Structure 1
Amino acid sequence: MNFNRNRGTQFVVCLASFRLILVIALLFFSSCTTNEKEVPSYEFKFQDPSLKIEERVQDLIHQMTLTEKVSQMRYDAPAIDRLGIPEYNWWNECLHGVARAGEATVFPQGIGMGATWNAPLLFEMGTAVSDEARAKHYKFISEGKRGIYQGLTFWTPNINIFRDPRWGRGQETYGEDPYLISRMGVNYIKGLQGDDSKFLKVVATAKHFAVHSGPEKSRHEDNFQTSDKDLFETYLPAFEAAVKEANVHSVMCAYNRFRDEACCGSNLLLHKILRDDWGFDGYVVSDCWAINDFWEPGKHELVKTPEEASALAVSRGTDLNCGDCYDPNLKEAVLKKMVDEDKIDLALTRLMTARFKLGMFDPEKDVKWSKIPYSVVASKGHYDLSKKIARESMVLLKNQNNILPLNKNVRSIAVIGPNANSKPALLGNYNGTPNNYNTPLKAIADKLPSATINYALGSDIAIGWPMLHTIPSSVLRNGASKGLKGEYFKNRNWEGTPELIRNDSVVDFIWTLERPLENLNADDFSAKWTGQLVPNETGKYRIGLRAGSAGKLYFDNELKFEFSDDHRPKTEYFDIDLKEGQIHDIKIEYYNYHVDPQAQFVWAKMDQDLLTPAIDAARKSEVVVLCLGLSPDIEGEEMPVQLEGFDKGDRSEIKLPRTQIELMKKIQALGKPTILVLMNGSALAVNWAADNVPAILEAWYPGEFGGNAIADVLFGDYNPAGRLPVTFYKSVNDLPDFKNYNMENRTYKYFKGDPLFPFGHGLSYTNFTYSNLNIQDMVSTGSDIEVSVEVKNTGAIDGDEVVQLYISHEGRPNEAIRTLVAFERIHLKANQTKKLKYSISPTQYAIINADGKSKLEAGVLVISIGGKQPGFKGLSDTNSTSVLTKRISLKQ
């Protein structure tokens, strides 16, 4: 009995233990079930960040209707609320800093970047610009803003060949040489897109594909032809490098036709070359409204309807439409069997892949780039980088008798010229809005606080194009006050009661972070200014309004002009005779719906004597700095401007405008030490200056700190080392027809004439000597050619040298005179020597034959290395550096 009782007790204990274990297990499994329920649930698979991007993209597209698909193929893609897809505007610019999106660091224009010959520096710049882009994007998103210029897909860089100095948009490029452009472009793209294995930092866009470099006025109808040799040797290498080396995620197709096909509807360019041959797997975006050119009268007229145009573009590989052609015409094209819906899905796959790779459908905390603080925007580090690039872009073209650098102890200096105090001449086109405008005048005054600065405008930028400046408060009236009455509205249409009424002494506003109204959550607002203009001098005037979005100007109750937004700041004006003291009613209506609002009420007196004050300023000064050149107001993209020497954005002449030549000659005749500073986006035939002015500095459009870079070079605080990325010709007569895209007699590679200043030219304040060149005497074709050389700074001061390695095929008249195959910017202290090594690959010394194929052939190869091209004498030579040359044999 006791035994059995013990057994029963043991059984009860065991049963109780089992029950306890069972309860614990149930609790454990219940806990697991509870944890599983805490895992986020998603309405759609594409919302799950743990899935592969490919799977998410396909799920998203599967959820869309045809109408929704088409809507996402326009640059201003609307929201799809039922899928939780926010609106997205694909249009952003960052050619030389984040553009049109409020405050940003403004770097030198693209042509100035090319003049640095410093490819790694462009990687640094790309990193800085994309930092600002990411920081701005998240700030915009936090404020509920998703409009134009607020996204992460940037239509940069412009890697077209600057084959002709007449092209107004050449300023956006890195120059005329395919290799130089490719190195610059690859580095900038890599800096922009970042190095994260999962998420792109931003999307870069290589443009304009392809064979595109003017003229601007006929780009919507032109049909260009080239040989296969020129196509593959000149026009395509930079794009190929962008795709294969930099993995650029977007390509923009060009306006023009090439070999009868519109570039945005080209089987050759978009299918065979870009995707089949190069393996490009990103998306293609059209240049803006380029698809309309397919059918609109007077343009390409390839098809007759917008539906056909949309179908053609998509079927040939243009995925995204900057314009209004795809939506709704693409839907109609599918329904009418002009294009398969599969083509729509393919295009949309490419587009949505980009958005997923940018992290737009993932939690911000999971995206590496979301950690970038807004404080990077216009930060000291980025300012320092902009200053560095501006300095490195300076090209000293001439320095007779070492007149430069100037002595800082000078007691008086004249700073004269239309670009001496010009803000546009700092910025170029496609620019951002800086917090600094350090013009040459300001920078020289800052550098010489004890000197007397005598400033004069001297001349208009060109005949019929005066320098417009803000209309001062002294001639504006608002009742008893000076200035105009300003009324500000929180809507786009001046409706209702103004939120703010105040007196504005002048209308000269560039709003960056701030807005004119507090608690303005949107970028849509409007303003109205009213009052009177009372001129204090009789004469002919040009009166204008510069605005970032759109506006109207009424003069004596008459509407003088009205302009609506075309996504970039612009100036409209009218000319009128005014009498001193006569009162004129003024009303300005302005509205903004972008994030870079600005409005300036400007004028210029057309018939005033600018020359006499300039001569007086020079006479009472010890030295003269002449700031001449061009302006992005008259050279640029498809402009309405038609002046002597200028043709709707392009140039019909390449010399300085007559107004400036006259000023230069009058000033030089005074016998004062005179320095010419050029600010421009393209090569200038400054022949008279080259013969008569002792020093010439090429400064391009140098960014917000450009004036500082100019002053630093002029007064010896920086030793210049920039090199020309383009040939400076002596006359437009040296050039083939502008529309002729054959490379014969173009650029340093094929130009047989005598240039004013050659490609690669640039002086220094020190001297560099090359020695101990070592190259094999004979190389088997297919093998690398190894080159070594020593470079010594033989001068008394530290400085940079730009090493340039060229090859020439001797005895082959159809080949380039020489071809750049390597370059490097190095720093050498005084008396320092460096040994450098380079390797020339078979691809680089191969010949591109008539079929566009790369071919290795036996023969004699001439190799030159130095700080310049070989073979130039006189003014075209660079006496502060040397060059060595060797002939070697290529054997099969």
Structure 2
Amino acid sequence: MKHQLALILALSTALSLFAQQPNAAYLAKREAYVLALMKKMTLDEKLGQLNLVVGGEATTGSSVSTDVETKIKAGRIGGIFSVSTPGRIRKIQELAVNQSRLKIPMIFGMDVIHGYKTLFPIPLGISSSWDMSLIEKMARISAVEATADGIFWTFSPMVDIARDPRWGRIAEGSGEDPYLGSQIAKAMVKGYQGKGYAQTNTMMACVKHFALYGAAEAGRDYHTTDMSKVRMYNEYLPPYKAALDAGAGSIMASFNEIDGVPATANKWLLTDLLRRQWGFKGLVVSDYTGISEMVNHGLGDLQTVAAKALMAGNDMDMVSESYVNTLGKSLREQKVTQAQIDLACRRVLEMKYDLGLFTDPYRYCDENRAKTEIFTTEHRTEARKAAGKSFVLLKNNQQTLPLPKRGTIALIGPLADNKENMAGTWSVSGDFTKCVSLEEGIKNVAGNVTILKARGSNIYSNARLDANVSIFGKPTNRDPRSDADMIAEAVATAQKADVVVAALGEAAEMTGEASSRSDIEIPENQRDLLKALIKTGKPVVLVLFTGRPLAIQWEHDNIPAILNVWFGGTEAGNAIADVLFGDVNPSGKLSATFPRNAGQIPIYYSYKNTGRPYGGNGVDFAKFQSNYLDVPNSPLYPFGHGLSYTKFEYSPITLSKNTLSMAVPKDAINVSVTVTNTGNYDGEEVVQLYIRDKVRSITPPVKELKGFQKIALKKGESKTVTFALGVEDLKFYNGELKFVAEPGEFLVFVGTSSSEVKEAGFSLK
């Protein structure tokens, strides 16, 4: 008894040390404990620690783990995911702690992506807030709720750079830019993990998907990727590195290949880059059946691919159970070594030690917390605020918005009264019936407004396509009537109203995993509805639901006001109504470019010039220059675009000096602009700073984001915004993959979007 008490006190002290920083004293105690435990373990028990199985509440693949209870008792499972509630988790943990030989506790994880029970906007949506404190708070609330329900490992943040909106998983990330993506990655890790794991309301982050998953060819999920290392280092890898530098405890390998080798078994990626170059000490886990799927890649049979994954540095096997079933044989056949197995096992045990499970296996099983800290009024208030800040006002001709809180509104569209689809994709733990629909939100916010309803259309005219996206508890509630009948009803309704609010776009599961689209326009039947509504002569506001940038050239040309609301989560309807009626002034800015049509994809602001760059007026075709016959090069809505109900004017840029010196440590140029709110509303503006290296050893992009500040300005107020631009901000990976700054001339841009900026110049000597 005294020995057990001393052990608990020692572990508690060590955990407290880890909460501050993993210093030498903490690391020594962890090492001693883990190595002593491993000396007692059999080979099968070590392999069991590498086995992560699914609990059955949610899956992202066709495989489901079986006979879990028996395997836990035998020490053949190290962790389980997609199980929740303190009571259920306690029962499973008791199997490991009380009935397995060595009583090693289990890890419990889940895909907590944009909230737990209180759902926030989808990640692409909340990235459009450009508000790091807001994003950190979302992750903090997510951690509080998930840990109150017994879960302490989240497979988030997803930091994949994505420049192809056909790819459904663009909804899960932060868009196209490595700088913005890096800031968001750091904020989310900080929100999840807090100051360490000593507090039971923090959880371990798992950065995914490492690496390059967002560059899938043809925008098709699980597809191959291929790019130069220069591009990897400069454009795709920075957010992963930023998340790990922020202290993320684990990382998930991606499905795609890199240089012809799947990431799950890519030694260059998981060992040479991740561990040797970046110094990562934490756990690497495969994605869902990522190891066994390498058989389909053509890398060998199950035993072969499992051995390759282990040797590459993949510590834990998610769902395929290939480690636990084949590595023993591979060891006997000398295809893997005992040292490789021990190293992977050690990393799993170190994770459990860091999380305090050896001190108290039930530290996350508090029924009282589950009753009082989940889906609270405070959390819903924050979710409503976050949603309102994520919406992007794409267009607002003739001040169509905000709407007055009087008169009659024709509320039309299949998403006008659909609670479930407000949640968006990857909301596995949410209660969709508690989401607020747009109709409910208008009733809650608009006071004396009269609402007339008509469905107008289904999501798709095609019943099969409608069924494909009416899944995971998010029905589209298909109407059996013909398209013509629904449009006729909608037109008759619109004619009785002062304004039309059309709730259209994508259903929630038209984006996310395995939801790629070749056609990213809104479905044709919905556009036909809009055409009929425009003909009524009534002003039309398009409330656009989407999990990706869409090609909405026709809508832009014909609809007076377009408010992109993504999928706002639990409080979506209230937040949309807040913005529609002016209680909240929209301040979101796009984190991913909207193309004119799918033929422009991939399209992003930081492109490189060719030897024959287009030099025309942006409209006319120019032969023998890099442009299209049928459409301008420019996007429909550029990166960083987002309107407000007020107007912001920018002064010319002021530089504190014109030369930056590499010889002076921490030398910096202060870049300043004065921003004035010249409109009639108080509002928020995201001031964006970009640079361009005019000449360098490898070709530069035309612009690179290097800073941003979100400021609040009252009507008539001015503020001077200053950025400190130093040598580190000018560095890039050159042809030898060295991180360098090169002397020369630079342009600096500051403005309201990537395409609407003021310009100045300076030199680096």
Q: TM-score, normalised by structure 1?
A: 0.72
Give the structure 2 partner of residue 635 of structure 1. 511
CA distance in 2, matches of 1:193, 1:369: 19
**SS of match in other structure, 1:785:** strand
For residue 407 of structure 1, report the CA deviation from its aligned partner: 1.1
Aligned to 2:658: 777
Alpha-carbon distance, 1:371 to partner: 9.4
Q: CA deviation at 1:50?
A: 5.7
Q: Give the match for residue 74 of structure 1.
A: 51
* 1:761 alignment partner, SS class: coil
Which residue in the other structure is 1:711 paired with?
577
Residue matched to 2:758? 884
- Superposed CA RMSD in Å reads 2.9
Hey, what does 1:356 align to over in structure 2?
A: 353
Given the alignment of the two structures, is residue 683 of structure 1 paired with residue 549 of structure 2, yes or no?
A: yes
Moved more, 386-395 or 42-51: 42-51
Q: Report which of the two structures shows the higher radius of gyration computed on alpha carbons.
A: 1
Match of 1:155 in 2: 155
Aligned equivalent of 2:592:
726
Tell me whether 1:277 sits opposite 2:277 in the alignment.
Answer: yes
2:282 paired with 1:315:
no
In the alignment, structure 1 residue 605 sits paired with structure 2 residue 480: yes
Matched, 1:125 2:6: no
- Tell me what 1:620 maps to: 496
CA–CA distance in 1 between the matches of 2:257 and 2:468?
39
Residues 1:199 and 1:369: Cα distance change in structure 2 (over 3 Å): farther
The structure-2 alpha-carbon separation of the partners of 1:156 and 1:544, relative to structure 1 and needing over 3 Å to count, comes to closer
Look up the match of 1:235: 236
- Cα distance, 1:614–1:852 mapped onto 2, change above 3 Å: farther
Task: Give CA deviations for 1:736-767 in whole Å, capped at 9, x if unaligned.
Answer: 5xxxxxxxx64444497211010000111112
Query: Deviation at 1:618?
Result: 0.9
1:750–1:424 Cα change, 3 Å: farther
In structure 2, what residue type is equivalent to 1:39? Answer: K
CA distance in 1, matches of 2:48, 2:335: 18
Superposition deviation, residue 323 in structure 1? 1.8
Partner SS for 1:204:
strand
User: Is 1:817–2:691 an aligned residue pair?
Assistant: no
Question: What is residue 793 of structure 1 aligned with on the other side?
Answer: 677
Contact 1:843 1:854 (C-alpha < 8 Å) held by counterparts = no
Q: Secondary structure at the match of 1:292?
A: coil
1:827 is displaced (CA, Å) by 1.2
Query: Is the 2:521–2:551 contact (alpha carbons within 8 Å) kept by the matching residues of 1?
Result: yes
- Alpha-carbon shift at residue 373 of structure 1 (Å): 6.4
Is structure 2 residue 313 aligned with structure 1 residue 447?
A: no
- CA separation of 1:606 and 1:851: change in aligned 2, threshold 3 A: farther
Indicate if the aligned counterparts of 1:425 and 1:630 stay in contact, CA closer than 8 A. no
- Equivalent position to 2:687, from 795, 800, 803: 803
Q: How many Å separate the matches in 2 of 1:611 and 1:885?
A: 49
Q: How does 1:309-708 map to 2 (within 5 A)?
A: 309-324=305-320, 325-363=322-360, 374-410=371-407, 412-431=408-427, 432-434=429-431, 436-465=434-463, 569=472, 604-605=479-480, 607=482, 609-638=485-514, 649-708=515-574
| Rounded Cα–Cα distance in structure 2 between residues aligned with 1:111 and 1:761 | 14
1: distance between equivalents of 2:568 and 2:363? 38
- Residue 112 of structure 2 is matched in structure 1 by 94
**Structure 1 segment 31-180 matched on structure 2, within 5 A:** 39-41=2-4, 49=12, 52-76=29-53, 77=77, 79=96, 81-83=99-101, 85=103, 88=106, 90-98=108-116, 104-137=117-150, 151-180=151-180
* 1:606 Cα deviation after fit: 6.5
Per residue, is there more helix in 1 or in 2? Answer: 2
Instruction: Measure the CA separation in 1 of the matches of 2:448 and 2:104.
Output: 58
CA change 1:93–1:716 in 2 (3 A) is: same
Alpha carbons of structure 1 residues 223 and 806: separation in structure 2 relative to 1, 3 Å: same
Matched, 1:265 2:265: yes
Contact 1:110/1:173 (<8 A) preserved = yes
User: Which residue identity lines up with residue 590 of structure 2 in the other structure?
Assistant: L
Q: 1:806, 1:864 within 8 Å by CA — same for their partners in 2?
A: yes
The separation in 1 between residues aligned to 2:744 and 2:11, in whole angstroms, is 61
Q: Quick one: distance in 2 between partners of 1:187 and 1:155?
A: 15
In the alignment, residue 390 of structure 2 is paired with which amino acid?
S
In the TM superposition, what whole-angstrom CA distance separates every residue of 1:483-511 from its partner, at most 9, and x where no partner exists?
xxxxxxxxxxxxxxxxxxxxxxxxxxxxx
Aligned residues: 677
Shift of 1:45: 9.9
Structure 2: how far apart are the matches of 1:823 and 1:92?
Answer: 32
Structure 1 residue 273, shift from structure 2 partner: 1.1
- C-alpha distance in 1, partners of 2:419/2:606? 32
SS at match of 2:152: coil
Q: List per-residue Cα deviations over 1:15-40 (Å, max 9, x = no partner).
A: xxxxxxxxxxxxxxxxxxxxxxx634
Q: 1:570 to 1:70 in 2, by over 3 A?
A: farther
**Percent identical residues:** 32
* Residues 824-865 of structure 1: CA deviation (Å, up to 9, x unaligned): 211122222223322223232124323333232222211111
Given residue 755 of structure 1, which amino acid in structure 2 is its aligned partner?
P
Cα distance per residue 1:785-844 (max 9 Å; x no partner): 322332222223211111101101235693111010011211122222223322223232
Task: Indicate conservation of the 8 Å contact 2:553/2:636, yes or no.
Answer: yes
Give SS of 2:443's match.
Answer: helix
Report the Cα offset of residue 361 of structure 1.
Answer: 1.6
Per the normalisation by structure 2, the TM-score is 0.83
1:115/1:393 contact within 8 Å kept: yes
1:177 and 1:208 map into 2 onto residues whose CA distance is 16
Which amino acid in 1 is paired with 2:285? V
Quote how far apart the aligned CAs of 1:198 are. Answer: 5.1
Provide structure 1 residue ranges, at least 5 long, that are not aligned to the other structure. Answer: 1-37, 99-103, 138-150, 469-541, 547-568, 572-599, 639-648, 737-744, 872-882
Choose from 638, 644, 652 the match for 1:764. Answer: 644
Say if 1:83 and 1:374 are closer, same or farther in 2 by CA, change over 3 A.
farther
- Residue 831 of structure 1, aligned match among 707, 712, 716: 716
Mark the CA change 1:766 to 1:465 in structure 2 (over 3 Å): closer, same or farther: same
**Contact kept? 1:107, 1:704, Cα under 8 Å:** yes
* Aligned with residue 735 of structure 2, among 824, 829, 850: 850
Note if contact 1:223-1:259 (Cα within 8 Å) is conserved in structure 2: no
Higher strand share: 1
Flag structure 2 segments of 5+ consecutive residues without an equivalent: 15-28, 54-76, 79-95, 615-632
Provide the rounded CA distance (Å) in 2 between the counterparts of 1:763 and 1:820: 19
Distance 1:441 1:455 in 2: 9
Give the drift of 1:714.
Answer: 1.1
How far residue 89 of structure 1 moved from its aligned partner, in angstroms, is 5.2
Deviation at 1:379, TM superposition (A): 0.8
Q: Is the 8 A contact 2:660 2:727 kept in 1?
A: no
Indicate if the aligned counterparts of 1:809 and 1:862 stay in contact, CA closer than 8 A. Answer: yes
What is the deviation of 1:262? 1.1
